[in-house]
């Protein structure tokens, strides 16, 4: 299974260029997927270079690369430090992340990620995850469900949507994506149905996979893993992710501002490299899923 058919890598050249690769360096691709970014990194490494990749999705293991310089770890990137230590690695020269859902996950009907197919409410990126979309939809309290829809889906009418789900599941559990769509039909006017349903799916998926928590945990480890001068190259797909990355690069934190010393100076772990990078019109035309991608690059001070 080739990487290009599994997942078409977004901002491929720009994100790998951002790593400023040294031939004998050690690099990490924390979102392996179809292996597109990893293959590009390997093409720029010398014989003594090393690339570690992470992917929690068991399906991605079929794309592993036969190269002595390459190691693929079937785990969530939130455990990056733990598993790099297992392989005797404490410092690296660059880390690349391409957040979001792979084309493969969207295109396999049974995974439940896509609004195009009827499937069981699953949406787990790893089968080891004990919580599925079924659990979020059928077992979360009204308050928790409303908060998930509002926070992760940016749905202004999250309260009404949550109330409708709770009312429907009290009569019969909502087991499939088609049943969820049917229950929420009154919130899906034909002109905006796809967009609203995509927001609902996004919110549930983020909650199922604890994506925001995982991103925060991962980012907080990067400063300790990168050598001085090492690079961070991060692709995000929605404002919640991009805001986290932007704040982290600027301040090394997510919420509050960094503390200042007696003289008003602040100490931050990274400096921004260049500005926000978006896909070109040509890339968007050839890969519509690239349209919302945003790349930010930083260097360890």
Q: What is the pLDDT of residue 191?
A: 96
| Same domain, yes or no: 215 and 178 | no
End position of a domain, from candidates 189, 209, 229: 209
| Same domain, yes or no: 97 and 232 | yes
**Which element (helix H / strand E) includes 135?**
helix 133-139
pLDDT digits (tens, 9 = 90+) for 110-144: 788 888 889 999 999 999 999 999 999 999 999 99
Find the length of the chain: 301
Q: pTM, whole model, 2 decimals?
A: 0.93
| Residues of the chain where predicted confidence (pLDDT) is lower than 50 | 1-4
Q: What is the pLDDT of residue 257?
A: 77
| Same domain, yes or no: 81 and 121 | no
Instruction: Supply the CATH number for residue 178's domain.
Output: 1.10.150.170
Sign of CA dihedral 256, 262, 263, 265: negative
| Same domain, yes or no: 96 and 84 | yes
What stretches of 141-210 show up as alpha helix (H) in DSSP? Answer: 142-153, 158-171, 177-183, 193-209
Q: What is the pLDDT of residue 4?
A: 47
Question: Structural domain of residue 45, as residue ranges?
Answer: 3-103+211-300
Q: What is the pLDDT of residue 284?
A: 96
Q: What is the pLDDT of residue 300?
A: 98
End position of a domain, from candidates 209, 240, 264: 209
End position of a domain, from candidates 209, 234, 269: 209
The DSSP bridge pattern shows strands 226-236 and 270-277 to be unpaired
Q: Which of 215, 280, 201 is nearest to 254 (CA)?
A: 215
Please check whether residue 144 is in contact with residue 131, taking contact to mean a CB–CB distance below 8 angstroms.
no
Q: What is the pLDDT of residue 142?
A: 98
| Same domain, yes or no: 59 and 182 | no
Q: What is the pLDDT of residue 258?
A: 77
Number of domains observed in the structure of the chain: 2
Residue whose entry in the numeric block shows the structure tokens 């009418």:
157
| Same domain, yes or no: 291 and 216 | yes
Instruction: Supply the CATH number for residue 238's domain.
Output: 3.40.50.150
| Same domain, yes or no: 99 and 114 | no
Residue whose entry in the numeric block shows the structure tokens 């660059």:
94
| Same domain, yes or no: 269 and 280 | yes
């Amino acid at each position: 299974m080739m990487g290009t058919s599994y997942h078409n890598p977004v901002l491929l050249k720009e994100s790998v260029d951002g790593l400023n690769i040294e031939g004998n360096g050690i690099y990490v691709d924390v979102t392996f997927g179809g292996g597109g970014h990893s293959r590009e990194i390997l093409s720029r490494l010398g014989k003594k270079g090393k690339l570690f990749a992470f992917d929690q999705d068991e399906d991605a293991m079929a794309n592993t690369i036969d190269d002595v310089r390459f190691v693929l770890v079937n785990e969530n990137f939130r455990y990056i430090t733990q598993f790099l230590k297992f392989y005797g690695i404490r410092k690296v020269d660059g880390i690349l992340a391409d957040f979001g859902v792979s084309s493969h996950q969207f295109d396999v009907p049974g995974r439940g990620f896509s609004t195009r197919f009827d499937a069981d409410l699953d949406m787990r990126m790893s089968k080891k995850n004990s919580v599925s979309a079924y659990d979020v939809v059928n077992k979360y309290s009204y308050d928790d469900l409303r908060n998930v829809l509002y926070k992760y889906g940016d749905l202004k009418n999250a309260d009404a949507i949550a109330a409708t789900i709770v009312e429907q599941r009290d009569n019969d559990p909502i087991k499939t994506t088609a049943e969820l769509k049917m229950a929420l039909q009154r919130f899906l006017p034909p002109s905006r149905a796809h967009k609203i349903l995509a927001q609902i799916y996004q919110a549930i998926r983020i909650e199922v996979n604890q994506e925001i928590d995982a991103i925060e945990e991962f980012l907080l480890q990067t400063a300790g893993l990168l050598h001085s001068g090492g690079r961070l190259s991060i692709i995000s797909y929605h404002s919640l992710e991009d805001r986290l990355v932007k704040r982290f690069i600027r301040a090394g934190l997510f919420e509050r501002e960094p503390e200042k010393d007696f003289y008003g100076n602040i100490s931050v772990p990274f400096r921004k490299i260049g500005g926000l990078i978006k896909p070109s019109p040509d890339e968007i035309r050839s890969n519509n899923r690239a349209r919302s991608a945003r790349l930010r690059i930083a260097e360890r001070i």
